[in-house]
Amino acid sequence: MNIVAITGMDLTYLRDHIPLDLQDRIRFHWFKSSEDARDYLTEADVILTAGRMNPDIMKQAANLKWVQTLSAGIDKLPLQQFAERNIVLTNARGVHTIQMSEFTISLMLQWVRKSNQLHDKQQEQVWDHLVTFGELHGKTIGIVGAGAIGEAVAHKAKAFDMHVIGLNRSGSPKPAFDVIVSGEEGLQLLLSQSDFVVLLLPSTSKTQRFVTKEHLALMKSGAFLINLARGDVIDEKALIEALQNGKLAGAALDVFEQEPLPTSSPLWRMNNVIVTPHIAGSSVHYTERASAIVYHNIRAMLEGGDMMNVVNISEGY
């Protein structure tokens, strides 16, 4: 099996820890760009990517049978071409659970414990023991996208004695959630009752502008919104307006409609906004966790077993 990895991501761990039973059955090539990989694409059975692929690669990879993305998101891949050629697509769903759930809790604590304000006072050498703080205890967190990451967030939130509402497509109960809702009515209930709202939706045609200006108007004026999903799941212009006019107390945003976030965006300069550069899923253990999925799927492809994280291309996840 010929495997061609095309990514600037560091795959040293993946390359150096290929299990012994696979080493003689595969040929693994790793390139930083599609241009560098050009001479190997014609024989590629498998392409590994970090979540983006130039559609022109498909013309060169005539023997391609399977694409493994090392990201969870698939919205930057040529999905229509995959579907037309019956190419199997698998993703790295599950490798973000620990770090993204920890990051979510850290952002909420950063907000209620006023970490940014305390840091500024330290830089100014101001001793202000009259700063007042909020708490997570007893607050309601609404998780829009109650999948694996959402469930991990819910478990950690319960450690702070928070009330947890989750939204998923089925409305089926899930552990660690006090309430699970679904549909438009469920979304409205979640938004209106939550002190913290966390967006963890995949980016698909069905989730673009999932949270609208009208939805934002339903939220509590003291609510804090966290978007770790994709920038296009929320109306960014409406969000900025809500933050500017005080309808929404604050937000932590790791994803944006345009990335990198333009320097002209007012979000950079708003005291009630925490901006991070799409790094919620980052971890020193990321490649190790993703590699386990890759090795499993290589065996499954070679031996006819069940692959992990097969994507339903028509649904987009």
Tens digits of residue pLDDT in 32-59: 999 999 999 999 999 999 999 999 999 9
CA of residue 257 relative to chain centroid, distance? 14
Fold agreement (2-95+284-303, 97-275): yes
CA of residue 75 relative to chain centroid, distance? 12
Q: What is the pLDDT of residue 114?
A: 97
Q: How many CB atoms lie within 10 A of CB 100?
A: 23
Residues in the chain predicted with pLDDT less than 50, given as ranges, are: none
d(CA 132, CA 113): 8
d(CA 27, CA 1): 6
Q: What is the pLDDT of residue 316?
A: 80
Domain at 2-95+284-303: CATH code: 3.40.50.720
Conformation bin of residue 94: beta by default, left when phi > 0, alpha when psi is -120 to 50: left
The H-assigned helical ranges of the chain are 12-16, 20-23, 34-41, 57-60, 79-84, 97-112, 115-124, 148-158, 183-193, 213-216, 236-244, 286-303
Q: What is the pLDDT of residue 314?
A: 85
Q: Which two tokens stand for residue 168?
A: 């998923």
Extents of the domains making up the chain: 2-95+284-303, 97-275
Q: What is the pLDDT of residue 42?
A: 96
Task: Cite the active site residues.
Answer: 230, 259, 278
For residue 46, the cross-strand partners are 3, 66
Q: What is the pLDDT of residue 293?
A: 98
pLDDT per residue as tens digits for the range 80-99: 999 999 999 999 999 999 99
Q: What is the pLDDT of residue 315?
A: 84
Residues 97-275: name the CATH superfamily. NAD(P)-binding Rossmann-like Domain (3.40.50.720)
